[in-house]
Amino acid sequence: MLKKLLGLAPKLESDGSYSPSKLALKLGTVDKSDYENIAYTKYKGSKSKILVIFTEQKNLKMQNGKLFSTGNHPIEALLPMLHLKNAGFDFEIATPTGKPVVFEMWAFPEEDEHVNAIYNELKSSFDKPMKLADFIASSFEDTASYAAVFVPGGHGSMLGIPQNENVGKALKWAHQNDLFTISLCHGPGSFLATTLNNQKFIYEGYKMAVFPDSVDKQTPMIGYLPGQMPWGLSEKLKSLGANIVNSKSDKTVCLDRKLITGASPLASNELGKLAATTLLQELR
């Protein structure tokens, strides 16, 4: 009751899940993002497509059994996509089974005209995405048309993505064919899919920026999460040989070979700029 009075209690949703508390929303979300509308020299080549793998799941079970109402973080998904779109790239949007993309709508920057514009432009694809298995069946032979695979963040990217064999296949396809892989925050959880069936972690020795477990452990105190996370992402990646370059949930971004990563929602704009400029430079 005291937490509720102080605005620290997570909000109970109609499906029994919890979204962040009033205080957590005030501290952790924005009405308008820091997106920079940059006029890039648009890419005109044949490798103009980017596969974007979203989660289709919403509720993440905490250690205490409570469900966190999550999904893909809208800023982490849409800011990088805005930069890549402005740089001349198009998107193939997929989820593991073709169910609609799920967003953390409580984190949507309602007053951001650019985010609203690309969300509305792609809404039909978010509502009816490609099934990832269908992409693998139809597009794996068409490597020459693709520049990158992008896995947005949000705690929801730890739901059904790290455990999905087709996600692992898509990341290995990008890795083996010299395409870029882009991700941020909790999105690098997808990298764990490359280890399924006792396969070697393809990013061993890579530097990457990832959301810190230490911050996830603190956020239940302000009601952002309704409990402790079921497992720690950054520690798991470290145990597999990844070199995590950040210790805070900040604007850190990292480029190592063909891997482009960012630390948190705060890195979304910087990640978009880095991805756009890197792809334009490498593919010209």
Positions marked catalytic: 185
The DSSP secondary structure of 113-135, one letter per residue, reads: HHHHHHHHHHHHHHHSPEEHHHH
* Distance separating alpha carbons of residues 243 and 16, to the nearest angstrom: 37
Of 30, 33, 37, 45, nearest in space to 283 by CA: 45
- N-terminal to C-terminal alpha carbon distance within the chain: 59
Q: Which residues pair with 53 in a beta bridge?
A: 94
DSSP 8-state class, residue 167 = H
Closest Cα to residue 161, out of 52, 259, 270, 29?
52
Which residues on adjacent β-strands are paired with residue 69? 59
